A and B are shown apart, each in its own frame.
Chain A
């Protein structure tokens, strides 16, 4: 019978008729931010790599292999799974871009490995990734939601958590090394990845919000419950994964603060309120400034204590008036 079903009309994508401006905005942002690992001089980190202990090297290779696994899942399963639910052809194009950039990210870790590590160390880390119960558990949790026929909104929740939360137990380490003036070129490459993931999480979270608006109140409540319970499940896995990796170098508690901070951002990308209070999101300032260098200079008007304002009354105020 299938042969007699009318074939849907094949449609060409028209970028001169965009129904959701966010599609064009994000397409422009992603394509302007395009990069390849070859532009980062990773070989300048060879000497720095040699200053790490064997345990620190193994930790770093494992962390990057874990990140590679998540990027692989997102490139080959996650973004294509979201494409099936796209509401505009332009959304499909943006997701194609996201899928490709995730493949670039995954390949970038191999560039780091081939620059810094021996083949047997790399192979051992890839074996570890297949056997590590916590890493496999988080991939499995996400892949469950990506299965064909899954709820489109749940797919977007899982995808936003991957982009905006699950990567960060790994991203912590290169920021930590960078704050200690180690592997700084590698950190530059990771910052490019971090920048991309922000746009991906923002966009998928945005599409989630548009989809959620069309649902009944009861269904919105059900989906919100699902999002929070998935976050709790993923968080428990992340806690164990973090402890297994970072206990040896004594960084587990600080990494967990970074996880709380990023879990809040993942929830905000989905349009929900942050969950973790400031008391458990106070990430080591050195990590924050490795993430956004120079971003905190001259910006404590409201956060500093006892600073007084100098307020000009006229329109023609000079910059010097505000030079504290």
Chain B
């Protein structure tokens, strides 16, 4: 089980992932990694006021690979509550498209509480996947 994440040059999602302290594959524009094991995706949300363009383009290209998409277990979305109903919308869009749950949403680079909850949540998810596979 692994993590993959996208972060733009603002670095919010990269800082969130760095504080998680778990190995993670960065999705760089132009050279998306191919995932060969179950993984969770962490992505920021880019929606405008109408909710358009929520999923960053490099993430769309990353998920366009069917093998990679097939290993996706869930999505964690960054965002900002100031965007109202569009807060963390990338998580909803990906969840609906790929048939996986949106596991969690955090704002900007996340708080200490977010880091704790996501670590614990991923731990439980990993454990369950292993026991299901066994």
Whether both chains belong to one complex is answered with yes
- A residues near B (Cβ < 8 Å) are 21-22, 25, 28-29, 32-33, 35, 191-192, 194-195, 197-198, 202, 205-206, 209-210, 264-265, 268-269, 271, 273-274, 277-278, 281, 288, 291-295, 298-299, 301-303, 308-309, 311-313, 315-319, 321-322
Q: Which residue of A lies closest to B9 (CB)?
A: A22
Q: Which 9 A-B pairs have the closest CB atoms?
A: A302-B121, A198-B82, A278-B113, A315-B70, A268-B108, A302-B104, A32-B48, A317-B99, A292-B81
* A265 nearest CB neighbor, chain B only: B108
**Are A309 and B49 in contact (CB-based, < 8 A)?**
no
- Which residues of B from 37 to 54 have beta carbons under 8 Å from A? 46, 48-50, 52
Which of B48, B107, B117 is within 8 Å of A29, CB to CB? B48
Assess whether B10 is in contact with A299, with CB atoms less than 8 Å apart. Answer: no
Known A268-B12, A291-B81, A315-B70; judge A299-B105 contact (CB<8 A): yes
Alpha-carbon separation in the docked complex, A205 to B105 (Å):
21
- By size class, the interface of chain B is 35 or more
Report the bound CA distance from A28 to B52 in whole Å. Answer: 12
A291 vs B81: C-alpha distance in the bound complex, in angstroms? 7
Residue of B11, B76, B96 touching A209 (CB-CB under 8 A): B11
Docked-complex contact B87 and A302, CB < 8 angstroms: no
| Contact indicator B102/A292 (Cβ below 8 Å) | no
A319 neighbours in B (Cβ, 8 Å): 96, 99
CA distance A206 to B12 in the complex (A): 10
Contacts of B113 in A (CB 8 A): 278
A316 to B46, CA, bound (A): 27
Q: Mark B64-105, 1 if CB is under 8 A from A, else 0.
A: 001001100110100011111101100100011001111111
* Closest A residue, CB atoms, query B74: A301
Quick check: A303 and B49 within 8 Å, CB to CB? Answer: no
| Given A278-B111, A278-B112, also A308-B128 (CB < 8 A) | yes
B111 touches A301 (CB 8 A): no
Q: How far is the CA of A113 from the CA of B8 in the complex (A)?
A: 40
Once the chains bind, are B120 and A302 in contact (CB under 8 Å)?
yes
Q: Answer yes or no: B15 CB below 8 A from chain A CBs.
A: yes
Contact B83 A292 (CB under 8 A): yes
The interface residues of chain B lying within 8 Å CB-to-CB of A303 are 104, 117, 121
Chain A residues with Cβ below 8 Å from B80 are 198, 202, 265
Contact between A33 and B117 (Cβ–Cβ < 8 Å)?
no
CB distance from B133 to the nearest CB of A (A): 8
Residues of B near A35 (CB, < 8 A) are 49
| CB-based contact B111/A281 at 8 Å | yes
A206 touches B102 (CB 8 A): no
The answer to whether B111 and A274 touch across the interface, beta carbons within 8 angstroms, is yes
- Would A22 and B8 count as touching, CB distance under 8 A? yes
Contact A299/B100 with A278-B111, A288-B81 known, Cβ cut-off 8 Å: no
B101 contacts A206, C-beta separation under 8 Å: no
Q: Could you write out 28 A-B pairs with CB less than 8 Å apart?
A: A25-B46, A32-B52, A194-B84, A195-B82, A198-B80, A198-B82, A198-B83, A206-B9, A264-B111, A265-B80, A268-B108, A268-B109, A278-B112, A291-B81, A291-B82, A292-B85, A295-B85, A301-B101, A302-B76, A302-B103, A302-B104, A302-B117, A309-B101, A309-B125, A312-B99, A315-B69, A317-B100, A322-B95
What residue of chain A has the Cβ atom nearest to residue B98's Cβ? A317
